[in-house]
Amino acid sequence: MEVVGELINASRKKIGEAIKARDTEFIQETARQQRDSGADYIDVNAGTFVGKEKECVEWLIQSVQQVVDAPCCIDSPDPEVVDSALRLHQGAPIINSISLESERYNALLPIVTGNECKVVALCMSDQGMPESAEDRFSIAEKLVNSLVQKGVSKDNIYVDPLVQPVSTNDSYGVEFLKAIERIMTELDGVHTICGLSNISYGLPKRHLLNRNFAVMGVLKGLDCAIINPLDSQLMADIKAAEVLAGRDTFCMNFLEAYRAGKLD
Amino acid sequence: MEVVGELINASRKKIGEAIKARDTEFIQETARQQRDSGADYIDVNAGTFVGKEKECVEWLIQSVQQVVDAPCCIDSPDPEVVDSALRLHQGAPIINSISLESERYNALLPIVTGNECKVVALCMSDQGMPESAEDRFSIAEKLVNSLVQKGVSKDNIYVDPLVQPVSTNDSYGVEFLKAIERIMTELDGVHTICGLSNISYGLPKRHLLNRNFAVMGVLKGLDCAIINPLDSQLMADIKAAEVLAGRDTFCMNFLEAYRAGKLD
């Protein structure tokens, strides 16, 4: 499973302060820790800096790429921000995200097709948020087909079926997981990605719910997650889940993590 | 999910000693703790007392039933032991287990059909241990059909698809889980049951693997597990898994467990 380290997000107080103060060292340390803990991508988000998001994201990318060899995940719905970020990012980042909402789709499409990058394809449309696995799959299929037709390779598409809180509807967990399975089977060649925390919104013991949801995701074929890689319990659960789901040949990754003391 | 508390097993040193010394208090305290922690059945096993298993199991059942209102799970392959245990057990216990191995099947069948009890139907046949989900399902189907034909109600049958170690074969986890799903769907009305610990045999961090395997089982429909109910992390994971699998209406059990401090 690939991991996008989610910690460099302006909505987190310390990160917001570090961005404001241009505290390069703090940002770089946060990037380094995530990379050392197994992040394959470093998310950068400056969404709370309205009107200044572009220069904040540029600064974040430069700071992160000075010290870490993993690409970034550029986490912004604003095409201008994404475009300027892509100009200075070295290597192929993930763009988070395009969707089937016409305005967003039309604005992001030329950027996605005109650059070497991967893209999160969020299962949202002008009809709003999906409810069932069927809804999610239907949006995913349209979005993937359309991107592929424009020349984006399936391997560069990360479908996010959109996690919604089980506190709102008992079936939201299962419907999300069914969508993951169907996308990974029927749209063979694409990836799936998600953030976890929305699943537990409105409930106590969110960490308990989130990490068990990750485990279920691994069983269903989820192959990328936007998480906190410093959360050693979650990371260990994912490693164990990969063994149990038959996704860790001869348990090699699990045993390597064990020997490195990463399952404690 | 129903829980069979597994702790009263003679292969555990302290329990073996307590059985030998007829330490009623220790056995009763172990039963009481398991019941208080959420066990629906109390397993009794005296398998290491060769030649004396029958009187040991009788004593265990009497000791347990004096203090706990949950039925026992009579854990013995010996028809004589099971028969004598059934005579003094109050209420309907679970018998663990009948299988498709002819000798065992023929010896246990009259006991199972002649008493008010539930029965674990273990997916083993004269051809040995099953490898694939298909193997497991095929044995399960024959065993269930045969028991139903003899008058056993589906609701009294607990199919155990037989957990085998992933350290032996990467696919054993997935094949087991597929079997659970198929049994719960196609043999509608029966239950599924398993012990967990075999999955992690030969690997480090067994508890990590076992509890994540339980979570995956819940997603696939497993509705009974033979576990240590005093393991609060495992019990909390199962409660969370039931929420995520859409098996806890309005999250009521989860919230109740939270308020009772059982998710800590």
Q: Tell me: the pLDDT tens digits for B160-217?
A: 999 999 999 999 999 999 999 999 999 999 999 999 999 999 999 999 999 999 999 9
Neighbours of B164 (CB within 10 A): 20
Is A250 among the domain residues? no
The count of structural domains within chain A is 2
* Same-domain pairing of A214 and A120: yes
Per DSSP, the three-state class of B53 is helix
pLDDT-based confidence at residue A238 (cuts at 50, 70, 90): very high
* Residues A47 and A167 placed together within one structural domain of the fold: no
**Same structural domain, B82 and B126:** no
Q: What is the CATH number of the domain that holds A183?
A: 3.20.20.20
Nearest residue in A to B164, CA atom: A244
**How close does chain A come to B229, measured CA to CA in Å?**
18
What residue type is A173 in one-letter code? G
Q: For residues B64 and B72, is the Cβ–Cβ distance under 8 A? A: yes
> Do A24 and A126 lie in a common domain?
no
**B151 and B74 fall within a common domain:** no
Based on the domain organization, do A27 and A139 belong to the same domain? Answer: no
Look at residues A107, A104, A113, A82 and name the one whose alpha carbon lies nearest to residue A95.
A82
Alpha helix positions (H), chain A: 13-20, 24-36, 53-67, 79-88, 102-113, 133-149, 172-186, 206-220, 232-244, 252-259
Q: Give the distance from residue B206's alpha carbon to the nearest chain A alpha carbon, in angstroms.
A: 9
Q: What is the DSSP letter of B85?
A: H
Nearest to A173 among B236, B245, B250 (CB): B245
Residue B64: per-residue pLDDT: 98
Q: Is B244 close to A216, i.e. CB distance below 8 A?
A: yes
**Residue B26 lies inside a defined structural domain of this protein:** yes
Task: Say whether both A103 and A191 belong to one domain.
Answer: yes
Single-letter code of the amino acid located at B148: V
CB pairs A-B closer than 8 Å:
103
- Closest residue on chain B to A203 (Cα): B255
Span B120-127, average pLDDT:
96
pLDDT at A22: 98
How confident is the prediction for chain A on average, in pLDDT?
97
Q: Give the position of tokens 């079926």.
A: A161
Q: Is A215 near chain B, with CB under 8 Å?
A: yes
Residues in chain B within 8 Å Cβ distance of A255:
203-204
For residues A204 and A190, what is the distance between their CA atoms, to the nearest angstrom? Answer: 34
Last residue of a domain, one of A62, A91, A120: A91
Long-range contacts of the stretch B133-141 (C-beta < 8 A, 24+): B133/B174, B133/B175, B133/B176, B133/B178, B133/B179, B133/B182, B136/B161, B136/B162, B136/B175, B136/B176, B136/B179, B136/B183, B137/B179, B137/B182, B137/B183, B137/B186, B139/B100, B140/B179, B140/B183, B140/B187, B141/B186, B141/B187
Exposure on the CB side of residue A204, measured as CA atoms within 13 A? 15
Nearest chain A residue to B221 by CA distance is A174
Same-domain status, B108 and B223: yes
Quote the CA–CA distance of A256 and A246 in Å, as a whole number: 16
Neighboring chain B residues of A258 at a CB cutoff of 8 Å: 204-205
Hey, of B208, B235, B258, B262, which one would you mutate to test binding to chain A, going by the most A CBs within 10 A of its CB?
B208
Please answer whether residues B164 and B198 qualify as being in contact, where contact means their C-beta atoms are separated by less than 8 angstroms: yes
* Average pLDDT over every residue of B21-33: 98
Instruction: Please check whether residue A260 lies inside any domain of the structure.
Output: no
CB contact under 8 A, B203 and A243: yes
Chain A residues whose CB is inside 8 A of the B209 CB are: 240, 243-244
Is the residue at B244 inside a domain? no
Residue A106: which pLDDT band, with cuts at 50, 70 and 90?
Answer: very high
Q: Which residue has the tokens 């799903």?
A: B181
| Bridge partners, residue B162, by sequence | none
Average pLDDT, chain B: 97
Please report the residues numbered 133 through 172 in chain A whose beta carbons come closer than 8 angstroms to any beta carbon of chain B.
Answer: 166-167, 170-171
Q: Is A180 on the interface with B (CB under 8 A)?
A: no
* Same domain membership, residue A221 and residue A116: yes
Same domain, B5 and B79: yes
Shared domain for A82 and A123, answered yes or no, is no
Give the pLDDT band of residue A116 (cuts 50, 70, 90): very high
pTM of model > 0.90? yes
Q: Residue A110 has what pLDDT?
A: 96
A209: distance to nearest CA of chain B, Å? Answer: 5
> CB distance from B203 to chain A under 8 Å?
yes
* A chain contacts of residue B177, beta-carbon cutoff 8 Å: 219
**Which backbone phi and psi does B165 adopt, to 5 degrees?**
-65, 130
Comparing alpha-carbon positions, the chain B residue that sits nearest to A170 is B246
Contacts of B206 in chain A (CB under 8 A): none
Q: What is the pLDDT of residue A223?
A: 97
pLDDT, residue A250, reads 96
Q: Span A15-23, mean pLDDT?
A: 98
Do residues A87 and A138 share a domain? no
Residue B258 lies in a domain: no
Nearest beta carbon to residue B243 from set A209, A250, A258: A209
How far apart CA A10 and CA A158 sit, in angstroms, is 23
Q: Show the domain range for A1.
A: 1-91
Answer yes or no: is B57 within a domain. Answer: yes
pLDDT at B91: 95
Chain B contact for A261, CB < 8 A?
Answer: no
Asked, for residue A33, whether it belongs to a domain, the answer is: yes
Residue A224 lies in a domain: yes
- Candidate from A170, A215, A243 with C-beta closest to B166: A243
Query: Contact B175/B208 with Cβ under 8 angstroms?
Result: no
Q: Is B202 exposed, middle or buried (0-12, 13-18, 19+ CB in 10 A)?
A: exposed
Pick the last residue of a domain from B37, B69, B91: B91
Domain boundary among A64, A91, A118: A91
When computed from its CA atoms, the radius of gyration of chain A, rounded to whole angstroms, is 18
Residue type, B89: H
What pLDDT, in 10s, does the model give residues A203-227? 999 999 999 999 999 999 999 999 9
